[in-house]
Amino acid sequence: MTSVQSTYPEGRVSLREVGLRDGLQLVKTFPSTSAKQRWVRDEYAAGVRHFEVGSFLPAKTFPQFVDVREIVGTIAALPGAHGVALVLNERGANEALASGVAEIGSVVSATEEHSQANANRSRDAAIANVKRLCELRDASAHKPIVCAAISMALGCSIAGPVDPNEVLRLVEKCFEAGVDSVGIADTVGYAGPKQVGDLTRAAVKLAGSKPICVHLHDTRGMGIANASAALDEGARILDGSLGGLGGCPFAPGATGNVVFEDLVFLCESKGFATGIDIEKLVAVRAILRGEMPNEPLYGGLARAGLPRGGIAAKAA
């Protein structure tokens, strides 16, 4: 049994590299399995411990995730490394459980419009799906962590502005369904730091002893500012992708996830020790460039390197 407390120790910041899943969600060409394994191992050597590894989605539609079981195995072989896989339905949940992955994520849209358009189901059906996932977890031998993410939680590409109280209602429903943690996702990068901070504060309060994960996209350049606000308001699990790999399905040409290496810099500069060596991390981008030469990579640290004398920080 994987415990949330040992996976995401309270008081510490846990950064999850989601490039292998969210970063690859939209790509046309993608890395070989062995390149993915080097990607994981080299990041592990740089100090990364939390990885989103892929999705249990139909391999016909998403061939980039056909090797998800092997990546789950690669991570399981690394002491202290933690893998997260995404599932969207019961078939995927059963496959994920069978793979032995340490954490299973699912998604609930913040708006009815997006839920119907994106997943062809109501939000209530998505919550029921989360509940079923928790039941399957409880019946399983290894009992993985289950996390539900509220997508479009800070603005919806279909419905526009989203009422934070509506999001908090869904957060509550997910906890009632039995999840171990809830994610708040600014899927299309609509928010600024005030919105992210306000929602994080309320969600952290609601979650009590359970962790809130904040998943940000840098679509409008606010990613790092929003991460800073989330940290200020008590979020201790944040997602990012190496080089900001990954785009936005609702804004062609737009950037994807917040840049992981810049996120590490942010945390360290705020006094949160991440255990991650930024220069070693930046070097891993060579694997992505080699395997996906047409995918743009972003990030300030990769361009400019560390400051002379290192990262200025005082204990947060």
Give the residue numbers marked as catalytic: 248
- Residue of 18, 96, 127, 224 that binds a copy of itself (CB under 8 A): 224
Measured CA to CA, the distance from residue 266 to residue 270 in angstroms comes to 6
Angle at 96 between CA 95 and CA 100, to 5 degrees: 115
Least Å from the CB of residue 253 to a copy of itself: 6
- Residue of 23, 31, 155, 256 that binds a copy of itself (CB under 8 A): 155
Q: Does residue number 150 form part of the binding site for a copy of itself (CB under 8 A)?
A: no
Q: Does residue number 260 form part of the binding site for a copy of itself (CB under 8 A)?
A: no
- Residue of 120, 253, 293, 294 that binds a copy of itself (CB under 8 A): 253
Residues 184-213 that bind a copy of itself (CB under 8 A): 188-195, 198
Q: Does residue number 299 form part of the binding site for a copy of itself (CB under 8 A)?
A: yes
What are phi and psi for residue 296, nearest 5 degrees? -70, 140
- Residue of 69, 262, 285, 287 that binds a copy of itself (CB under 8 A): 262
Residue closer to a copy of itself by CB (options 52, 268) is 268
Contact track, a copy of itself, 118-137, x by CB under 8 A: --------------------
- Residue of 270, 275, 291, 297 that binds a copy of itself (CB under 8 A): 270
Residue closer to a copy of itself by CB (options 103, 186) is 186
Yes or no: say if 230 and 199 are a contact pair by the CB < 8 Å rule.
no
Question: Which long-range contacts does 258-262 make (Cβ < 8 Å, 24+ apart)?
Answer: 258/216, 258/217, 258/218, 258/223, 258/224, 258/226, 258/227, 259/218, 259/223, 259/224, 259/298, 259/299, 259/300, 259/301, 260/15, 260/17, 260/19, 261/299, 261/301, 261/302, 262/224, 262/299, 262/300, 262/301
